[in-house]
Amino acid sequence: MLRERKTQIVAQLADSLSRSRLVIATSYQGLTAKELANFRWALADATIECRVVKNTLVRLAARKVGMEQIMNIVDGPTALTFGYDDAARAAKVISQCIRSRESAVGIKGGLLGERVLNPQEVVALASLPPREWLVSQLVSQLQAPIRRFHDALRYPLQGLRNVLEAMARELAYIEEGGHDVT
């Protein structure tokens, strides 16, 4: 029975590792069981999974999905948090949970795709603006050259149109019996 349970845990971990965009390893030493449960619930509200698992099981799951580099951040008692959606949002939520609770949870590092992040890089990732804001900034930057090109073509043509309209008004005025002002 115990072997079956471990096999099941390894399979679940392998699935979590393969689906996650960001995995953050945290130390939970110094937390009571209640504080750890509250930390997990706060993360679960943001659709972030937190699991405390033996390092040997993490190693087996990492080998199974080809993510052995996670062992660079798993050392000693470790809780793994899995962010499945936006990596920056997951890092931000975890950092906010740690700060707001003033808990003893510490960030050991992270795994973003295949890249191992140190604790400072995880905190830097958490300070990124929201994804929607970054996308809108990128779109704005991509549109800027096109807008400038459009304006460069439009202003001379608009000036020519204004001159032609003024001349047409003057001709219409003369044809109606007005005097030529030139």
Mean pLDDT computed over every residue of the chain: 84
Look at residue 114 in the predicted model and tell me its pLDDT: 84
Angle of the 87-101 helix axis to the 33-45 helix axis, nearest 10: 140
Residue with tokens 């971990």: 13
Question: The tokens of 87 are what?
Answer: 């990596």
Eight-state DSSP code of residue 102: T
| Dist. CA 57–CA 3, nearest whole Å | 11
Q: Confirm if 116 and 71 have CB atoms less than 8 A apart.
A: no
Predicted TM-score (pTM) of this structure = 0.68
pLDDT digits (tens, 9 = 90+) for 66-89: 988 989 889 888 889 898 887 888
- How far apart (Å, rounded) are the C-alpha atoms in residues 72 and 114? 12
Provide the pLDDT confidence category of residue 180 given band limits of 50, 70 and 90. Answer: low
At what angle are helices 87-101 and 119-126 packed, to 10 degrees?
Answer: 100
What does the pLDDT look like over 85-103, one tens digit per residue?
Answer: 878 888 888 888 777 766 6
Judge whether 73 and 116 are in contact, CB under 8 Å: yes
